[in-house]
Amino acid sequence: MLIKLTGGKVYDPAHGIDGKIMDIYILDGRIAEKPRDDARIDKEYNLTGQIVMAGAIDMHTHIGGGKVNIARTLLPEDHRMDPVAHTALMRAGCGHVVPSTLTTGYRYAEMGYTAGFEPAVLPMNARQGHLEMGDIPIIDKGGYVMLGNDDLFLRMLAAKKDQNAINDYVAWTMDAAQAIGVKVVNAGGINAFKFNQRMLDLDENNVNYNVTPREVLKTLSRAMYELGVAHPLHVHGQNLGVPGNIITTLNTMAGVEGYPLHLTHIQFHSYGTEGDRKFSSGAAQIAEAINKYPNVSVDVGQIMFGQTVTASGDSMSQHRNSGLATPNKWVCMDIECDNGCGVVPFKYRDQNFVNALQWAIGLEIFLLVEDPWRIFLTTDHPNGAPFTSYPHLIKLLMDKTYRKEVFASINLDAQALSTLASIDREYSLYEIAIMTRAGAAKLVGLHDRGHLGVGGAADITVYSEHADQEIMFAKPAYVFKDGELVVKDGNIVKVTWGGTHVVKPDFDRSIEKEISKYFDSFHTMKMEHSKVSKGEIEGDGRGKLLVHEAKGRREKTA
Amino acid sequence: MENLSQASTVETVTCPFCGLLCDDLSVDRDSSGNLNVIENGCAKSITFFGRPVVTPSPRIAGKPVELKAAIAKAAEILGAAKQPLFSGLGTEVYGMRAVMNLAESTNATLDHMNSNGFMRNIQVVQNSGWLITTLTEVKNRMDLLVIVGTDIVSIFPRFFEREVWNKETMYGQDTSKREIVYLGGRDLDTSAGISPDGRKPEVLPCDMDKLPDVVSALRAIVLGKKLHATEVAGIAVADLEKLAQRMKAAKYSVTTWAAGTLAFPQAELTVQNVTELVKVLNKDTRAAGLPLGGIEGDMNANQVCTWISGYPMRTSYARSFPEHDSYHFSTDRQLSSNEADALFWVSSFNPDRTPPATNIPTVVFAHAQMKLEKEPEVFIPVGLPGADHRGIAFRSDNVVSLPLQQLRNSTLPTLAEVFSAIELTITNSALVASEDK
């Protein structure tokens, strides 16, 4: 099947294409060369006056796994307000802050997204994460597996095990959990909370192992580099939400000796202690540091006003913040001497000083970071807001007049502490395409996504140009997933099933002897049974593993 | 590939019969596919795996028929029903996925056979949340176990062996020093709570229907309130005060209950008193709750229903979108109010869990050994997950899931195959109907 997309205005930053009128050809799900003049075009779309980008990629969104299902269980009242009925094409479900799996896939696709990455896959809950993602239609999925709070890793670190042994364990875990990256959440802190530590700063010892978060981050970021994993260590920092945590965040950026580091939902980690209320914006300093350290990338974790739910592996921080739960109910868990989780509903209010300033801090960071290849558009769905608020967020970034209007309506004390009104930057379509496509694909390590070059997967989104960017980005004219038209005028026209992106770095398989023995001694299941098999992802006939290159194991770097 | 028709011993077998999902069993298979647990068994797993192989034919009104005919008849019953009820739901994850799909296409209501117990926990989560833990945490870190209203072993036979008196822990704890307290219930078998060195557990018995009083008194004491009474339901307040002190002094107390055994009215409020008490303890020390469940696939049904529909059990697609109501959509009420007009009953793990008595058309998808007092309209024997076919099951703690192995060849279809085939039949007939127009 040869498809021609004719005359659209193309934004393809991976190839430096900034709004050029071009034709794009799709052959059997891939972007193809211009065929010979006599080739038969099976289907042509006239895209004159329309904007063409690769399908968008959400590089950090909580869409599958235990804590997501807990959040669903916790909030039936939220689902009741957004029922989704059965149609001839789509199965029923429900939406808003934690949509059902099916609705998640439909709504992402309807917004022009073609991939989403679950950032908190617990090794002990990886099977559930993939099961849930297996029930998300259309988009591709993938996950970052959580390390750095598990007993075995901390034990190895405490015993000062050789970096190569740690690399083997990290790669084994990625393989077992079918991951494309590794995330560390409150490094060592989730574990410390189990021993009744309530805070753990970068250089503070986890009392049980006498290791610090700094050591955890250094070791794991180095492991990612040495294993040749494209995605840098994905870091949810220490002291989430604590006024003054900017110091910790700046030290974290400086503390990994130049290894690539991705700091996630940076907004929640950019708080100062100035002003009468001892809560202030650290956005300028954070942005300055990001601009300075080329090894650092961030996603923002923008908050939006309204009801949402926070779902995180950071049981220490979530328990600390549980008093703020709105409505007043929350779940925390200690999990398998491996990880934890905390689910706390939140309602961000524009007239609340702290919430209003959080909103402004996120936008300040977006606008003050210079390199769009190192900053990504997220709300940390659903923690800052549900992903369905992305079109609104894009408008805030692209339209300074609108942004200033909204800013003028928020809590006055927060306005007084923010520089947002003085920032005139407006994101261009090219920059939006970097943040949500080309940059995201590069960051996650998806060689054939996020761009429109020949050979790439034909994940393509076409927007009708509109002066109001929120309207434009909410309902694309067309979305193609692997070359198939799945959305027309913002509505699903075909339901397909995407794949699961993974990376498989090499490791010494003999490490399994040790891990297996460890499981038999201390765990409550066999090591073999903790592994998510290829068959579990592909067995239903609709999922598939998409394996990306790990660029060969590097020699020890020191 | 292993030859499943030959006699052999299979190791590291996962047993799906209780919520522990022990995966260290060794099971002998004879050439007919009969199974026998030879290592790490318990009374339940030995019964579960030991049932001899039978492969009865599907039946319509008691007469043996081909599977295809039984599927067509089930589809016909479903097609004619205005308000079908899918209940029982004793199945594994893939089976439950197929159940959800069929329910969604046919506007069915979903409930599990253990929901009367399980919903007590769900209601607590929906109302106030909780702070809970999982089995490996218990095994490695628990220093005080408070067991509310159950002996544990009658539902989880190997709980103490695996999670309490284990020889090693990650942190070098001497597990024989672990403290065990049974709170509530009468004449419980507390022998499993005796430590390896012979130390007896503390037992504070009371009648089950008085448990709400005892638990609320304990919560009040933990909150620092002074009780004027000297005893509650026969338990000295001084003993409860001592227990509260131990819970506060413990580094990681675990308070556990089995919602299914709390068979008194408004038992969810007692669960909530337990979980809120645990929250209070966590202001100063660490503590966690441990709900015990995972019987007959209740966790599987609930997890899959939650991610696919957005709601836990007792959810209905009657109006084409999912709605959840823990009262209205219970099996008992759907049947007693005559709202349901067809019953699809699933029990693939346990032949003894037969459908409730009803006069509405009933299709039973069952363990091959199920004996029914009243012959249903359609009976379809299905494979036993974890023996006849592979699957996935969730453990009691609702976090860990394990693969279930296929241990023998079987001619029985899986529940997922049968439900998918019914859905296909209904979808195809709908297509034909729309083309006829």
Residue B260 in domain: yes
For residue B403, say if its preceding peptide bond is cis, omega within 30 degrees of 0: no
Are the beta carbons of B308 and A525 separated by less than 8 Å? no
Give me the CATH number covering residue A262: 3.20.20.140
What would the mean pLDDT of A131-137 be, rounded to a whole number? 98
Structure letter (DSSP) for residue B260: G
B283: contact with A, CB 8 A cutoff? no
Residue B229 in domain: yes
SS3 A537: helix
Would you state the pLDDT for residue A553? 67
Same domain, B190 and B238: yes
- The C-alpha atoms of residue B349 and residue B387 are separated, in whole angstroms, by 10
If one counts the domains in chain B, the total is: 2
What would the mean pLDDT of A13-21 be, rounded to a whole number? 98
Residue A182 in domain: yes
Disruptive mutation site among A82, A104, A321, A334 for chain B (greatest number of B CBs within 10 Å) = A334
Q: Give the domain-ending residue among B267, B291, B315.
A: B291
Residues of A in contact with B132 (CB under 8 A): 331-333
Range of the domain at B132: 118-291
Same domain, B132 and B264: yes
Q: Judge whether B290 and B324 are in contact, CB under 8 Å.
A: no
Residue where the block lists tokens 């004390």: A413
Are the beta carbons of A330 and B321 separated by less than 8 Å? no
Q: Judge whether A194 and B252 are in contact, CB under 8 Å.
A: yes
Residue A206 in domain: yes
Would you state the pLDDT for residue B431? 76
Are the beta carbons of B307 and A70 separated by less than 8 Å? no
If one counts the domains in chain A, the total is: 1
Q: Judge whether B18 and B162 are in contact, CB under 8 Å.
A: no
Alpha-carbon gap: A253 to the closest alpha carbon of chain B (Å): 32
Cα dist from B433 to A271, A396, B73, B426, B428, whole Å: 63, 50, 18, 10, 9
Residues of A in contact with B402 (CB under 8 A): 127, 525, 529
Range of the domain at A219: 56-451
* Cβ under 8 Å to B: A residues 296-335: 319, 325, 328-335
Structure letter (DSSP) for residue A389: G
Q: Give the domain-ending residue among B291, B312, B330.
A: B291
Residue A335 neighbours by CB under 8 Å, 6+ apart: A66, A122, A124, A125, A341, B133, B134, B137, B399
Residue of A86, A94, A208 with shortest CB distance to B310: A94
Residues of B in contact with A135 (CB under 8 A): 97, 307-308
User: DSSP string of A259-302?
Assistant: --EEE-SGGGG-EE--TTTT-EE-HHHHHHHHHH-TTEEEE---
pLDDT digits 0-9 by tens, B172-210 = 999 999 999 999 989 999 999 999 999 999 999 999 999
Same domain, B227 and B275: yes
Give me the CATH number covering residue B304: 3.40.50.740
Asked if the model's pLDDT at residue B1 lies above 70, the reply is: no
Residue B403 in domain: no
Q: Give the domain-ending residue among B269, B291, B313.
A: B291
Same domain, B96 and B230: no
Same domain, B136 and B260: yes
Same domain, B263 and B216: yes
Asked if the model's pLDDT at residue B218 lies above 80, the reply is: yes
Are the beta carbons of A80 and B323 separated by less than 8 Å? yes
> Chain-centre distance of CA A312, in angstroms?
12
Alpha-carbon gap: B113 to the closest alpha carbon of chain A (Å): 19
Residue B406 in domain: no
B55: contact with A, CB 8 A cutoff? no
Asked if the model's pLDDT at residue A540 lies above 90, the reply is: no
- The C-alpha atoms of residue B277 and residue B279 are separated, in whole angstroms, by 5
Same domain, B134 and B242: yes
Residue A10 in domain: no
- The C-alpha atoms of residue B269 and residue A71 are separated, in whole angstroms, by 21
Nearest CA in chain B to A127: B401
Give me the CATH number covering residue B235: 3.40.228.10
- Best CA proximity match to A394, nearest among A347, A439, A349, A434: A434
Residue B250 in domain: yes
Residue A489 in domain: no
pLDDT digits 0-9 by tens, B264-311 = 999 999 999 999 999 999 999 999 999 999 999 999 999 999 999 999
Rg of chain A over Cα atoms, rounded to whole angstroms, equals: 23
Residues of B in contact with A193 (CB under 8 A): 286
ipTM higher than the 0.95 cut = yes
Cα dist from A549 to A60, A227, A228, A446, B100, whole Å: 20, 11, 8, 9, 37
Same domain, B137 and B168: yes
Same domain, B276 and B314: no
Cβ pairs A/B, distance under 8 A: 189
Residue B36 in domain: no
Would you state the pLDDT for residue B436? 66
SS3 A241: coil
Residue A3 in domain: no
Alpha-carbon gap: A513 to the closest alpha carbon of chain B (Å): 16
Residue A135 in domain: yes
pLDDT digits 0-9 by tens, B365-412 = 999 999 999 999 999 999 999 999 999 999 999 999 999 999 999 999
Q: What percent of chain B has pLDDT over 70?
A: 99
B143: contact with A, CB 8 A cutoff? no
A88 pLDDT band, cuts 50/70/90, is very high
- The C-alpha atoms of residue A493 and residue A89 are separated, in whole angstroms, by 7
Are the beta carbons of A84 and B321 separated by less than 8 Å? yes
